[in-house]
Amino acid sequence: MTHRARTRMCAVLATAVLAVSGGYAYGAPARDAMDQDIETAVQGVDAYWNAHWSEFFTETYVAPTVLGEYDGASADVPTCDGEPLEDDNAFYCKTAEDYIAWDTDLMRSGYRNGDAFVYLVVAHEWGHAIQNRLEAELRTIDGELQADCLAGAELDGAARDGTVVFDEGDVDEVRMALVRGADTTPWTKEGDHGSAEERVDAFGLGQELGVEGCLPEEVSTEGAAAVLDR
């Protein structure tokens, strides 16, 4: 695995997609329905962790910066660890910059397949940010699948809290997005996203069991220290 991939915790969702409005700010007016959905996803996931972090971890929850939209085809592309973000992708930047971002075209393309996809993307990248705040023993070796699991836990929790509302068919849209963004082979090494079945199962595990279901089986969350590790 390259240094570049390690520092970015890159979530390559290939033919699937995500996105957002430029330079994200809570309360900023949405340019269209997709931007409004993204804003709702950001606020819903953040609100979930603000409300429930202390149920699982010690220390204090700190949200990542939401850099939001960028144009990967332009000359002025944000950087992570000094390297420009790739076109048609979405990222959690694991360095001290600690931000999530997504390419505009990627998001708009994915949104055409269903509005639930942007919620998945935001939650998946947020899952990587949460991983970066945990002690090593609370992270699983299959980091991308753990991020999918945390996405399921976050979105289901936000729905139960009433900060995110899913319409009929949204779960199927999320599953299809996971299938489209899956690897052709099962997870075998760090950086793999896993097969379609593995990704769907990981997301479903988070929905069913919540955050604790996404942590290593041999580790109890009781008294576990969640620390910023960047």
Pick 196 or 31 by higher pLDDT.
196
What pLDDT digit, counting tens, does each position of 154-196 carry? 999 999 999 988 777 667 777 777 766 655 445 434 555 657 7
CB–CB of 89/103 below 8 Å?
yes
Instruction: Give the pLDDT of residue 11.
Output: 36
Is pTM beyond 0.85? Reply is: no
Pick 138 or 177 by higher pLDDT.
138
> CA 127 to CA 122: how far, in whole Å?
9
Q: Is the model's pLDDT at 64 over the cut of 70? A: yes
What pLDDT digit, counting tens, does each position of 188-214 carry? 345 556 577 788 888 999 999 999 999
Q: Is the model's pLDDT at 39 over the cut of 50? A: yes
Ranges 8-12, 138-142, 195-199, 207-211: which has the least confidence: 8-12
Instruction: Give the pLDDT of residue 32.
Output: 84
Work out the pLDDT band at 31, boundaries 50, 70, 90.
low
Instruction: Give the pLDDT of residue 43.
Output: 95
Work out the pLDDT band at 21, boundaries 50, 70, 90.
very low
Instruction: Give the pLDDT of residue 99.
Output: 96
Cβ burial of 221 (10 Å; 0-12, 13-18, 19+) is middle
> If we measure between CA atoms, which residue out of 160, 152, 154 comes closest to residue 45?
154
Q: Which residue has the tokens 């240094």?
A: 3
CB–CB of 119/90 below 8 Å?
no
Put residue 140 in one of left, alpha, beta given phi > 0 → left and psi -120 to 50 → alpha: beta
Instruction: Give the pLDDT of residue 24.
Output: 37
Q: Is the model's pLDDT at 65 over the cut of 90? A: yes
* Residue 90: strand pairing partners: 11, 102
